[in-house]
Amino acid sequence: YAPIILMLLSLVFRGVAFEFRWQTPRARKIWDRAFALGSLGAAVAQGLALGALVQGIPVQGRAYAGGWWDWITPFSMLTALGLTLGYALQGATWLIMKTDGRLQRRAYDIAAWLAPAFLGAIGAVSLWTVFLNPTYAANWFSWPRILFVAPVPLLVAAAGYVLITGIAREKERAPFLATQALFILGFIGLGVSFYPYMVPNSVTIWQAAAPAKSLAFLLVGAAPLLVMVLGYTAYAYWVFRGKTPADHHGY
């Protein structure tokens, strides 16, 4: 629970800093730093929680059976570093796509060193993950399953190539799209490793799922709401499409 609590507190701190930044112009730099600190704390906490989940969480009687500090391990710290680099790269490539001038130039410079660092973290976490659990190794390397999962690392390599070359050639959209592809492929990789578990070696997908009637009832409400959320999000991105003018504070 500790990394989840840290993440929630960081998100609250981040939201407060964002609101106060516009209310107190004299202290704007202080709130900028507070916003950065809250964002960093949330990213690190998510990475620690992810690392703890991948390592496996001891469960007894459908309740957590581990210690308070079991989530702090070398592997979880590596995943925290990797996820933080990934979020920073997302931000840098987003700024490349949405800005121009000096800010875009700075985003290119930051992305140029974040990209190889993030790709290195992906490689390190991926290799380490395979040796954490025999189930992971079997899911990736057993025959004939390897034929179906082999495209995942190949696509990661392709996305990494597009990312590096896109930044080097100063493309505007390719780096961001490649970064998004890496995150999507990362989630797919987690699914491959975990199957058939939701919590490795403790809770399977079928054990974690609600009864079929409950899921069917929720689907009736969730399906239209999902369409509405997707539509609203698409409309918002369409309204704010294009670049943010450099001489404005925002839209």
Sorted by sequence, the CB contacts under 8 Å of residue 146 that are 6+ apart come out as 140
pLDDT value of position 61: 67
One digit per residue, the tens of pLDDT, for the chain of length 251 reads 788 888 999 999 888 888 888 777 788 888 889 999 999 999 999 999 999 888 877 776 666 666 677 788 899 999 999 999 999 999 999 999 998 888 899 999 999 999 999 999 999 999 999 988 888 999 999 988 899 999 999 999 999 999 999 999 999 999 999 999 999 999 999 999 988 888 787 778 888 888 888 989 999 989 999 999 999 999 998 988 888 766 655 55
Alpha-carbon dihedral 48, 49, 54, 58, rounded to 10 degrees:
120
Q: Smallest Cα–Cα separation from 194: which of 54, 83, 19, 15? A: 54
What's the rounded Cα separation, in Å, for the pair 58 and 207? 15
